[in-house]
Structures are given as C-alpha cells and as structure tokens.
Amino acid sequence: MSGDNQSGTAQLPSTAFDQAAEWFARLQSEESGSATKRRFRQWLRQSPDNVSAFRECQSMWDEIGDASSDPDILAMRNDALTAMQPETRDGWGRITAIAASLCALLISVTVLGLVSRDGTTGSVPPDAERIAAAPAVTIYRTETGQRSTISLPDGSTAELNTDSLMQVNYSDDRRELVLLKGEAFFDVEKDPERPFVVMADDKLVRAVGTEFAVRMEGDAVRVTLVEGVIDVGRAVEGRFLGGAEEVTLERLVAGEQIVLADNRTGTKDVIDTQIATSWRDGRLVFDNDPLSRVVAEVNRYSARKIVLGDASLAEMRISGSFRAGSADGFSDNLQAAFPVTAVADSERNRLFLRWNK
C-alpha cells in the first residue's frame, strides 16, 4: 500500500473517534507518504474534537502497555493496514471497525515527552498532555493561557505559546516541525548536515543554528529572528518537506521580522525582539499600540475575554508591561491609568470596557 495512493473521493467516517482510529492505522504504515501526512494535518486543524479524539486513542494504548507484542494484536494490526489497500477497500465501515478495534487494543507508538510550564504559576505538571500520531510523528498542544517547553531529540528546544498545536517529524537525516496553530519559539542546535525546517501552511523557515519565533495569524505567518540567520520561503504547490522544492523569499538577520500572507509579498521590518518574544517570560509588552490590538493580544491568553463597549476606545494608545493570562489584572491597570470602567458579564465570562460617564 502507498499512503499517497488515495482517490480522495471517499466519505470520511461519521464520528471523530472513528476518523482518529482510521488516521492512526494509516500512519502506522511504513509506506505512509508525505501526502497522507499533509491530509492528516489538515484533518487535525478542522476541529478541536479531532485532536481530542486522537488523545483518547492515545490513552487507550498507553493503558494497555506491553500487550503490543501479543500475536493476536499484531495480526489485527496487519489486517487493518491491509484493509486500506486500494484493491480491498469496500467502504469505510469495515476499515473503521478494524481501526477502532485496533485503538481499543494497541498499536505500539513512540511518544516524546512534553514538559508543560503554566504561564501563570510557572509550575511543572508531573505528566503533561501529549498527543501522538505514529513513530516519528509526534503532536504537542497547549491550552489557552498555557506555555510549554519541548526538548527535541537533537538538543534543540521549542517553546509553545498559548493555544498552539505543533507536529514534530525527526529522523536520522532531517529535522522537520509543522506549526499547525498558534506560536512557537525555537532555539536550534547547530547541525549543518541536518537543516532545521519549520512549516506553517505552505510557508517555511530553514535554519542551522539560531533562535527565532513563528506565529500563525489567519492566512498570514509572522517570523521573528532573534539570533543568527534564517531563510524564509514557500513549498512549491504546498508540498511537504523531505525533498519538496522550495522557493526562498527572504533571508533574515537578527532583529528582523517578516509577515507572509497568501497572495501578498512579505516585507521585512526591524523590530524590538524582546518585546516580540516577551510572552516567553509570561509578560505582554506594548509600546504605543492601539487598544484594539492590545485587547486582541490579551484575549489570546485568557478564558475571560475583554470587549470594547465603545468603538472610540479602539485607537487609545497603550504602553506598558502586563502579566499574560489575567484579563482582570489588565483591566485594573487600565482603569487606574485612563478614564475607563470595566463591567463584568459573568454569564458570558466577559469584561466590557467603556468610557467613564
């Protein structure tokens, strides 16, 4: 079977768990190719339920443990993979039934640990959340207000910011990561033989040894270089890494930032990298920014959302350093410095900002 040999016309199973089981069985195939992995990433991004379903499957085989060597389970694994060959596909029902049974028993999976660091308290949970797809494909996620530091196999680190999702694909000859959602900061160990490549949609960053951040913002990707040199480009026709042709758009040097969006040419700016990456210290720093932008940034880190009750507040300029994750703390500081009032809506978990009357 080839993981890329699929018509793309069949309907997916009806439930997220059935789909997760199907994807898990597919990715277990040693012949699973880059097109399959690309479609898997697209499926993950369709709904938070898809990510949760993957976590549920992972929990099942974590609990079963050593049963992976059982002959019956190994036989079921082979049956599930064989069932997905094009010549034997007779509908999603049989495939997903086998794959779901596979989930309920075990497919051996290699999982890298995730060390989480809470953005408010700085505590380290003993068993942080992890989501795994298959050997050499590992997925990490942070919730709203959470930051996490991941130790990668080569000694590099990746710090995930709030509400982020990232896939790690490491092998003997390549270092590849895919930012599916949110923002991450990378501190890369030098290895000229294995460039470090981060993909976000069809945008990519290539480095050898450096420090940089990548953030997804709708259809745009923001890349900030703190140290070293990186090349920023696109994968031709959206093809994944590992042999795909690449078009270099720009070379960035330390202190530069570029925003790439669909159908728009990226432009470089010189910025204050300490401000751009202040979230790593649990702070949000602003320098004469409009309140509309400030509120949008504060809301990324908090379940309680701030809403501008008066449209004229949008252009009020804000400077200062604020603790990430505390909408109430931010509104308290704002009320102390400006003639505004925050009115809480507990039912909808919102704070409405208005001018004082």
What pLDDT shows up at residue 6?
Answer: 38
- The whole-number average pLDDT for the span 242-261 is 78
Residue type, 353: L
Per residue in 18-75, pLDDT tens?
A: 777 777 666 655 455 556 766 777 787 777 777 777 766 655 644 554 444 455 555 5
The verdict on 131 and 183 lying in the same domain is yes
Q: How far apart are CA 343 and CA 309, in angstroms?
A: 9
Among 59, 74, 104, the domain-final residue is 104
- The whole-number average pLDDT for the span 122-140 is 49
Lowest mean pLDDT among 171-180, 236-245, 304-313: 236-245
The verdict on 151 and 241 lying in the same domain is yes
Residues 6 or more apart in contact with residue 255 via CB below 8 angstroms: 225, 226, 270, 271, 273
Among 104, 132, 150, the domain-final residue is 104
- What is the share, in percent, of the chain residues with pLDDT greater than 90? 46
Residue 163 lies in a domain: yes
- 98 phi and psi, to 5 degrees? -65, -45
- The whole-number average pLDDT for the span 162-177 is 88
- The whole-number average pLDDT for the span 311-336 is 94
Residue 304 lies in a domain: yes
Residue 7 lies in a domain: no
More confident residue, 355 or 66: 355
Structure token pair of residue 300: 């990324």
The verdict on 96 and 154 lying in the same domain is no
17-21, 118-122, 207-211 — which one is most confidently predicted on average?
A: 207-211
The verdict on 309 and 263 lying in the same domain is no
Among 82, 104, 126, the domain-final residue is 104
The verdict on 336 and 207 lying in the same domain is no
Confidence of residue 219 (pLDDT cuts 50, 70, 90): confident
Domain that holds residue 291: 282-355
Task: Reply yes or no on whether the pLDDT at 208 is more than 50.
Answer: yes
Residue 8 lies in a domain: no
Residue 6 lies in a domain: no
Residue 5 lies in a domain: no
The verdict on 269 and 142 lying in the same domain is yes
The verdict on 267 and 119 lying in the same domain is yes
Residue 144 lies in a domain: yes
Domains: count for the chain: 3
The verdict on 243 and 137 lying in the same domain is yes
CATH number reported for the structural domain that contains residue 173 in this entry: 2.60.120.1440
Residue 1 lies in a domain: no
98-102, 263-267, 284-288 — which one is most confidently predicted on average?
A: 284-288
The verdict on 81 and 173 lying in the same domain is no
Return the closest-CA partner of residue 338 out of 275, 294, 285. Answer: 294
CATH number reported for the structural domain that contains residue 292 in this entry: 3.55.50.30
The verdict on 123 and 268 lying in the same domain is yes
Lowest mean pLDDT among 2-16, 28-42, 276-290: 2-16
Taking a C-beta distance cutoff of 8 angstroms, is the pair 230, 210 a contact?
yes
What pLDDT shows up at residue 287?
Answer: 93
The verdict on 167 and 290 lying in the same domain is no
The CB-based long-range contact list for 5-8 (8 Å cut-off, 24+ gap) reads 5/86, 6/35, 6/36, 6/86, 7/86
The verdict on 99 and 198 lying in the same domain is no
- The whole-number average pLDDT for the span 326-344 is 93
